[in-house]
């Protein structure tokens, strides 16, 4: 599936999964119709992430869901992931592309229009734009936090590649992010901490679809 078709995108974090494993959360999200899963779990050892990634690769390959790895190009290669998501301080997109190949999906984080334009010049396949709303899932500098859908719209208008909104997104505010032009939304706790992650994924997808119709 191409990034422009992603509506719901799960970013994994076992420490924020209410005592459940990343694999269990991913399985439920797949049941709920998730389009892409990013292996994050930054607090785990490289070996543990590799083992988790192997299991996620089995699940996602069977379900036709895209699997990406946060930051680590080597781990993406090791588990046969579909691609990688890079932050501003990670490898440049062209370097990752050289290692992963032309068919890999490579995303880049961006909080500002110029960052987005630079990622497009580097031929990133999509942008992760945020933090759209306040979030406790990761540390975000003040000027990159809680900027709302309007900046998403500004970035969408500035580039020609798909944008995925991230940061503090829930089923109650996802429609506004999609209405601003985002292809979809990426979340951690909206799915990982939900009592029913499959239902939470479905609710999120419905909200995105509503926003895209408005």
Name the pairing type of β-strands 66-70 and 105-110: unpaired
Q: How far apart are CA 25 and CA 35, in angstroms?
A: 14
Contacts with 47 (C-beta within 8 Å, 6 or more apart), sequence order: none
Q: Which two tokens stand for residue 19?
A: 């005592």
Q: Which position among 17, 49, 57, 109 bears the catalytic label? A: 109
Q: Which position among 20, 117, 138, 212 bears the catalytic label? A: 138
Q: Which position among 7, 40, 57, 108 bears the catalytic label? A: 40
Q: 39: annotated binding-site residue?
A: yes
Nearest-CA neighbor of 37 among 15, 10, 3?
10
Q: Is 109 annotated as catalytic?
A: yes
Q: How far apart are CA 50 and CA 46, in angstroms?
A: 6
Q: 74: annotated binding-site residue?
A: no
Q: Is 138 annotated as catalytic?
A: yes
Q: 135: annotated binding-site residue?
A: yes
Q: 70: annotated binding-site residue?
A: yes
Q: 137: annotated binding-site residue?
A: yes
Q: 75: annotated binding-site residue?
A: no
Q: 192: annotated binding-site residue?
A: no
Residues known to be catalytic: 40, 109, 138
Enumerate the known binding-site residues for Mg(2+). Answer: 71, 90
Enumerate the known binding-site residues. Answer: 38-42, 70-71, 90, 109, 135-138, 168, 188-189
């Amino acid at each position: 599936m191409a990034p422009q078709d992603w509506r719901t995108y799960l970013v994994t974090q076992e420490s924020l999964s209410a005592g459940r494993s990343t694999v269990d959360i991913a399985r439920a999200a797949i049941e709920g119709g998730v389009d892409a899963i990013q292996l994050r779990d930054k607090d785990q050892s490289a070996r543990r992430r590799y083992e988790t990634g192997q299991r996620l690769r089995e699940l996602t390959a069977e379900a036709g869901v895209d699997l990406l790895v946060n930051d680590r190009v080597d781990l993406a290669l090791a588990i046969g992931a579909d691609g990688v998501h890079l932050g501003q301080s990670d490898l440049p997109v062209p370097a990752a592309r050289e290692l992963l190949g032309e068919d890999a999906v490579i995303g880049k984080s961006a909080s500002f229009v110029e960052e987005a334009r630079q990622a497009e010049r580097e031929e990133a396949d999509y942008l992760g734009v945020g933090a759209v709303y306040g979030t406790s899932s990761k540390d975000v500098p003040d000027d990159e936090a809680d900027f709302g859908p309007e900046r998403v719209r500004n970035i969408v208008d500035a580039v020609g590649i798909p944008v995925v909104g991230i940061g503090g997104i829930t089923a109650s505010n996802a429609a506004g992010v999609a209405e601003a032009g985002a292809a979809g939304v990426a979340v951690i706790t909206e799915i990982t901490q939900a009592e029913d992650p499959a239902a939470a994924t479905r609710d999120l997808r419905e909200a995105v679809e509503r926003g895209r119709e408005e």
